[in-house]
Amino acid sequence: NAGVTQTPKFQVLKTGQSMTLQCAQDMNHEYMSWYRQDPGMGLRLIHYSVGAGITDQGEVPNGYNVSRSTTEDFPLRLLSAAPSQTSVYFCASSYSFSGSGEQFFGPGTRLTVL
């Protein structure tokens, strides 16, 4: 299993540009989520999905859009990039939203918005 994969690893955008961060998992996990991590801080939840076709907002959803058409993929779209969105983005997945257990994290996408 590849686990959780994220592309690209690095990205530089100009203010106002849009882009999609890709996240995929091959573990047949129901639950997927996106976090952002600013320098020196812990992770903050952006959006999450408890299954294909179901998404919901996390702690910091503004400026981001998600959809989940398949179990495997959960892309994160930046609608109009702003310097405040410069961050490291992590995707995570787990077997289910409830119950107990571990989440698996991807390697991250490092985004810089100029």
Partner 1 sequence: DAKTTQPPSMDCAEGRAANLPCNHSTISGNEYVYWYRQIHSQGPQYIIHGLKNNETNEMASLIITEDRKSSTLILPHATLRDTAVYYCIVKTTDSWGKLQFGAGTQVVVTP
Alpha-carbon Rg for the chain in angstroms = 13
Question: Which of 17, 19, 38, 50 is close enough to bind partner 1 by CB under 8 A?
Answer: 50
Task: Please report whether residue 45 would count as binding partner 1 according to CB under 8 A.
Answer: yes
Task: Please report whether residue 48 would count as binding partner 1 according to CB under 8 A.
Answer: yes
Question: Which of 13, 108, 111, 113 is close enough to bind partner 1 by CB under 8 A?
Answer: 108
Instruction: Please state, in angstroms and rounded to a whole number, the distance separating the CA atoms of residues 74 and 61.
Output: 15
Query: Which letter does DSSP use for residue 73 in this model?
Result: B
Residues β-bridged to residue 3? none
Site string for partner 1, 61-90 (x = CB under 8 A): ---------------------------x-x
Cβ(1)–Cβ(27) below 8 Å = yes
Instruction: Please state, in angstroms and rounded to a whole number, the distance separating the CA atoms of residues 94 and 29.
Output: 5
Q: Which residues bind partner 1 (CB under 8 A)?
A: 4, 31, 33, 35, 41-45, 48, 50, 58-59, 88, 90, 92, 94, 96-108
